[in-house]
Amino acid sequence: VLTVNIAPLKSNQQIEGYVYVLHDITEQHKLDAMRKEFVANVSHELRTPLATIKSYVETLLYSDVDAEYLKRFLKIIDSETDRMTRLVKDLLLLSKMDSEDKNLKFEHKNLNEVIIDVINRLSIEAHKKNQKLIVDLQETPRHVYIDKDKMEQVILNLVTNAIKYTPENGMIKVITEYDENFATFIVEDNGIGIPKEDLPRIFERFYRVDKARSRELGGTGLGLSIVKQIVELHKGEVNIESEVGKGTIVRVKLPYQ
């Protein structure tokens, strides 16, 4: 998209020429459209659980509900409240990282230890689905320079996704590899996979392959965009390979410094 400003150059009432100023506003339009889409998405994502909560609360207030239904409705209200809390937490995290003051606290850390901490927290989830959680960590020659909390969030989001999108009895592998310049960790699963056409957009905020499934599993649609943003703040790279029905491999490559 181009806008053109034309200003005639005059001398003694006679036009001697024109100055054309061309502005390329494609980027600006794109940013505007993205911002609008983001606000619409946030509103929608917040309204959906609110509408559910409201309707169950109204039923409880104005109808006679027996004990069994009372419990069932309260459980739904509870899980929708949890989803809103997660959503607001994810949005705050993203907005903090968007702002000037990112407030990252870098320190030298053993990546293997950070991974083991997160895996210990998640092993119960995998166990509930009878999934095999394999951890294969190469001995690290050097410490990585990371914001530990943020990197924990990256590992948490990736392993949580692997657990969520892999059926019962599946397998999840977490691997580290170290070379001269990079520390790499890989989260691999043999779950449902991602269709090829969705892969290019998978790191966008609120992009999901299957909205209903993501919601059902408690997702916010922000997990991978948070991963990408944090990894890039560490000057690293994240990429994803996937095949429907076979599984997904996410690789995060971090420079040591």
Residues making contact with ligand ADP (CB under 6 A): 157, 161-162, 165, 189, 191-194, 202, 208-210, 214, 219-225, 248
Q: Where are the beta strands (DSSP E) in 88-156?
A: 106-109, 132-137, 144-147
Cα atoms found within 13 Å of the Cα of residue 164, Cβ hemisphere only = 17
Q: Report in angstroms how near the CB of residue 129 gets to ligand ADP at its nearest.
A: 13
Nearer to ligand ADP, 112 or 157 (CB): 157
Helix count (H) and strand count (E) of the chain? 6, 9
User: What is the b/e burial string over 67-92, where b = at least 16 CB atoms within 10 angstroms of the residue's CB?
Assistant: eeeeeebeeebeebeebbeebeebbe
Q: Report in angstroms how near the CB of residue 213 gets to ligand ADP at its nearest.
A: 7
Q: Are 219 and 152 in contact (CB under 8 A)?
A: no
Q: Report in angstroms how near the CB of residue 92 gets to ligand ADP at its nearest.
A: 16
245 DSSP 8-state letter: T
Nearer to ligand ADP, 101 or 168 (CB): 168
Give the residue among 193, 223, 225 at the shortest CA–CA distance from 209: 193
Strands 171-178 and 132-137: parallel
Nearer to ligand ADP, 214 or 229 (CB): 214
Nearer to ligand ADP, 209 or 252 (CB): 209
Q: Report in angstroms how near the CB of residue 123 gets to ligand ADP at its nearest.
A: 17
Q: Report in angstroms how near the CB of residue 24 gets to ligand ADP at its nearest.
A: 32
Q: Which residue carries 């790279």 as its tokens?
A: 237
Nearer to ligand ADP, 53 or 250 (CB): 250
